[in-house]
Chain A
Amino acid sequence: MSQAKTAKGFWPAFNQRKFLDDWVMLLAALGIFVLSAVFIDNFLSPLNMRGLGLAISTVGIAACTMLFCLASGHFDLSVGSVIACAGVVAGIVIRDTDSVALGVSAALGMGLVVGLINGIVIAKLRINALIATLATMQIVRGLAYIFSNGKAVGVMDERFFVFGNGQLLGVPVPIIITVLCFIFFGWLLNYTSYGRNTMAIGGNQEAALLAGVNVDRTKIIIFAVHGLIGALAGVILASRMTSGQPMIGQGFELTVISACVLGGVSLSGGIGMIRHVIAGVLILAIIENAMNLKNIDTFYQYVIRGSILLLAVIIDRMKQR
């Protein structure tokens, strides 16, 4: 009771804290953007803005559903492999059938199946998500190499390039899809029982179970959707590169997770909002873009990216104290 009273007494202060908790990373992203715009030549040039938007798109799309995995207290390491395999599958099917629709469907179907397997293994067989998705990560990567014989699968059909290189009112299609994903999954998390149950499972799985949440089914859906959306990101990437490449996206899963955590999504579940994801994705992409414009050596970029990830995890830890 005393706690509730304190909160009431300091209501404005509490509110301020909540405001900061919710928005600080998005403000940080904005700050970094402004700083880059001021201090780096060509940062605001249309060409660079376009490049930045495209860089955000692949990570951003996958991060939307990674948010659900993390919010439920799990994570998924297989997404990088799914991206590569989806591109390869799309490429092969389009080459062999001359049907873009069939190719894209096959790629998305592959992602869905991988996600379903992840979800069933984690939810029903109670295998740790780290182990389960580490295994599927390697299996799916292997399949991508096997399907493609280890070589990039080129696509000639121009209709396929709409996903990666098309434009709508001057805005590249991948960016439009990313923004739609942000809106859709943000809505899903807040305004559906599926989203709220995801948060409840991450917040306290035992309590969610006793409250009547269908924990297993929710988890399976989370991973299945994540597989599907990962494949969508893979299709878009393949379309941009006009080929499905089996070696692409190595380490991508960690970029996606670090973007989420950097934005404020908790690794231990129960805390996460779409604005966290947007902030994290923006910060990572802007810093990388700025480093490229500044011609910072790739070797140093690794160190800087790693430091940012470490910082993100430490912040996550300190927030729980």
Chain B
Amino acid sequence: MTAAALRFDAIGKTFPGVKALDGISFTAHPGQVHALMGENGAGKSTLLKILGGAYIPSSGSVQIGAQVMAFKNAADSIASGVAVIHQELHLVPEMSVAENLFLGHLPTRLGVVNRGLLRQQALACLKGLADEIDPDEKLGRLSLGQRQLVEIAKALSRGANVIAFDEPTSSLSAREIDRLMAIIARLRDEGKVVLYVSHRMEEVFRICDAVTVFKDGRYVRTFEDMSSLTHDQLVTCMVGRDIQDIYDYRAREQGEVALKVDGLLGPGLREPISFQVRKGEILGLFGLVGAGRTELFRLLSGLERASAGSLALCGQALQLRSPRDAIAAGILLCPEDRKKEGIIPLASVAENINISARAAHSTFGWLLRDGWEKGNADRQIQAMRVKTPNAAQKIMYLSGGNQQKAILGRWLSMPMKVLLLDEPTRGIDIGAKSEIYQIIHNLAASGIAVIVVSSDLMEVMGISDRILVMSEGALAGELPRERADEARLLQLALPRSRA
């Protein structure tokens, strides 16, 4: 049976303060594997969530064949023959493979689960996909690749005609990848619509028949003819060239070494990491998701303890046991996930700014001084140009850019030596972005060492004096500003396919 085409028609999705998707339209045809590509934050995952019924689009619609779908939840989406295979599989490790396959509609007789029938049906389900899996095995005992096959079998057993894969190979071995590719090819030949989200170029060229590129939540273009498409064309399209210079880079005087990292190892890092950053320098740290950049920042900010290696701040050896140690030393982090790790949403803007510095400005260290509290909050709100009706406004009502500026204000209230910025402009509109770049430049110019983690190629190249590239938990290379271009950076950042 051939499925109908899947069409996205002018899909838009707005979160408070952020436009995640804007007017996305394209068609994925049955009998084709259609790749979705774009940098982190381009909107691929948001689109898959809309397809899977997890998000309701703010505008536009999903169409299958001639029918307009209005998925209100995941059940609607599944009932319409859509299956989204997520990176984190939605399976219960403590239950058997067969139970996982038929969770929610187990075959029963008088309300009692019919074990024999369940096993039979499960075997039929797995046939041809993963014949070696015993349906009675506990799911948690299977390899990640096998679990993914169970998820695919589950989708097919529910009659899925549209199957979307979100980074399906990110944790598979080379042999498992081969097997998955064969299965995807089979699904395509059976006439199903297959969407394939991946960062890995070679997989996209190997398996896909069409590629749609996103950037910053917007549709860029669809390539229907893979044979005439080159690697470089695709990368150029993903990065986009038409960005005006909002980075406002100016060369700066650099001082002595501020932070020296020597052989640092810890959770999420595959090889020891060594580098240094000077006073007044902006050091870019580029890599794809899972490259270990955030993990490195967790070590540098004291959130995680290093298992080996040493740190020296301005020539002095430094031991970090907690974020408090790092903050006391003047190493300050603006975390990647502002909502989860940065702001205290229910508290006021003033509260969010003052929380770290207030201990040093309180009587006996704990009795708040009203004058300082008000004065510092107002000072930082002005200096950072935080747009807020007043300092008492709850910070959750501010846009992402203004929340980020408030967190910068929090750190500017403190003695600062090294500033760690993890994806400082993710989900922030272009106007606030350029303001944040200016703040970063001014901080560096005042002699602070800045390390910026970013997945945004243009941003990294635009603001950094020097760029380190990480890949798969290790340093993959270093480029000075003059020699950094997209091709070199991506080359270093793309994971080598594992043997």
Contacts and interface: CB of A to CB of B under 8 A. Distances in A.
A196 B368 contact: yes
Contacts of B388: 4
B362 A204 contact: no
Given A199-B347, A203-B347, A212-B356, 20 more contacts: A2-B17, A4-B393, A4-B397, A4-B398, A4-B399, A7-B393, A7-B397, A199-B344, A203-B346, A204-B343, A207-B341, A209-B303, A210-B323, A210-B333, A210-B342, A211-B323, A211-B356, A212-B328, A270-B344, A270-B347
Contacts of B356: 211-212
Interface string A19-60: 000000000000000000000000000000000000000000
Contact of B345 (A2, A191, A204): A204
Nearest to B432: A1
B420 to A, nearest CB: 11
Interface in A260-294: 270-271
A203 B16 contact: no
Contacts of A16: none
Contact of A214 (B324, B333, B389): B324
Given A4-B389, A271-B346, A212 B327 contact: yes
A212 B324 contact: yes
A118 B358 CA distance: 28
Interface of B: 16-17, 301, 303, 322-324, 327-328, 333, 335, 340-347, 351, 355-356, 358-359, 362, 365-368, 387-389, 393, 397-399, 401-402, 410, 429, 432
Nearest to A188: B366
Most buried by A among B17, B362, B389: B389
B367 A206 contact: no
A191 B354 CA distance: 13
A3 B403 CA distance: 12
B345 A200 contact: no
Contact of B355 (A7, A191, A192, A200): A200
A1 B351 contact: no
Contacts of B389: 4, 7-8, 11
B398 to A, nearest CB: 5
Contacts of A193: 358-359, 362, 365-368
A104 B347 CA distance: 39
A208 interface: yes
> Could you tell me the dominant secondary structure of chain B's interface residues?
loop
A194 interface: yes
Nearest to B362: A193
Contacts, number: 102
Contacts of A194: 366
Contacts of B401: 1
A192 B323 contact: no
> Could you tell me the dominant secondary structure of chain A's interface residues?
helix
A82 interface: no
Contacts of A203: 344-347
Interface residues of A, number: 28
Nearest to A199: B347
A213 interface: yes
A193 B358 CA distance: 7
B93 to A, nearest CB: 21
A2 B359 contact: no
29 contacts: A1-B17, A1-B387, A1-B402, A1-B429, A1-B432, A2-B16, A3-B398, A7-B389, A7-B393, A7-B397, A8-B389, A192-B368, A193-B358, A193-B366, A196-B355, A203-B344, A204-B341, A204-B345, A206-B340, A207-B335, A207-B341, A207-B342, A207-B344, A208-B344, A208-B355, A209-B303, A212-B323, A212-B355, A270-B344
A175 B16 CA distance: 47
Interface in A178-206: 191-194, 196-197, 199-200, 203-204, 206
B335 A210 contact: yes
A191 B387 contact: no
Interface in A86-114: none
B141 to A, nearest CB: 28
A178 B323 CA distance: 38
Contacts of B340: 204, 206-207
Contacts of B341: 204, 206-207, 210
A2 B359 CA distance: 34
Given A196-B368, A207-B340, A209-B303, A3 B17 contact: yes
Contact of A211 (B17, B328, B398, B410): B410
A203 B366 CA distance: 20
A251 B333 CA distance: 45
B344 A200 contact: yes
Nearest to A269: B346
B394 to A, nearest CB: 9
Contact of A191 (B328, B368, B398): B368
A191 B363 CA distance: 11
B347 A210 contact: no
A196 B370 CA distance: 13
A191 B402 contact: no
Contacts of B365: 193
Contacts of B17: 1-3
Contacts of B323: 209-212
Contacts of A192: 362, 366-368
A213 B356 CA distance: 7
A4 B387 contact: yes
A4 B396 CA distance: 10
Nearest to A9: B389
Contacts of A207: 335, 340-344
A210 B414 CA distance: 14
